[in-house]
């Protein structure tokens, strides 16, 4: 049980422990208390800022991950579009080369025909 003692405008609290008294000074120096409370407020503000920074870092990390996912999806879409375009072009090329010989054959037939016609005349 604490015992209060006053001496020279200073208050002390004594705690009785093991056959003796332990003195604990009560601060009446408001400047010291104000300074101490300011330090505590600064520490609390620092911890709050650190918490906000950690939350912002996690939000930034999530946003970067989402952006990377979107970028990957865009690359995948672009790759799929290029693949489809190449497939379409190759199909068109295969269709166009299927009858590619016909104009050359007609040209050859016409040339041979003119050659025979000129040879006969």
Using DSSP, state whether 4 is helix, strand or coil.
strand
Alpha helix ranges (H) inside the chain: 30-98, 101-120
Asked if pLDDT for residue 100 goes beyond 80, the answer is: no
Residue 116: pLDDT band (50, 70, 90) is very high
Please write the tens of the pLDDT for every residue from 28-56. 555 666 677 777 888 888 888 888 888 87
Query: What is the average pLDDT across 57-80?
Result: 86
Tell me the domain boundaries of the chain: 3-98
Asked if pLDDT for residue 88 goes beyond 70, the answer is: yes
Asked if pLDDT for residue 26 goes beyond 90, the answer is: no
Residue 112: pLDDT band (50, 70, 90) is very high
Residue 18: pLDDT band (50, 70, 90) is low
Q: What pTM value is reported for the model? A: 0.34
Worst-scoring range by mean pLDDT, 4-18, 31-45, 75-89, 90-104? 4-18
CA pseudo-torsion sign 60, 66, 70, 75 = positive
Q: How far, in Å, CA of 100 to CA of 107, rounded?
A: 12
Q: How far, in Å, CA of 43 to CA of 116, rounded?
A: 107
Name the residue with higher pLDDT: 13 or 70.
Answer: 70
């Amino acid at each position: 049980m604490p015992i209060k003692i006053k001496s020279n405008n200073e208050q002390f609290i004594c705690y009785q422990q093991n056959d003796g008294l332990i003195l604990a000074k009560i601060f009446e120096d408001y400047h010291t208390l104000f300074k101490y409370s300011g330090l505590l407020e600064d520490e609390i503000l620092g911890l709050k800022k650190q918490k906000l920074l950690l939350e912002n870092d996690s939000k930034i990390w999530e946003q970067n991950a989402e952006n990377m996912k979107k970028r990957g999806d865009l690359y995948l879409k672009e790759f799929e579009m290029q693949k489809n375009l190449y497939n379409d072009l190759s199909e068109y090329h295969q269709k166009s080369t299927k009858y590619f010989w016909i104009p050359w054959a007609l040209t050859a037939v016409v040339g041979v025909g003119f050659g025979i016609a000129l040879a006969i005349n």
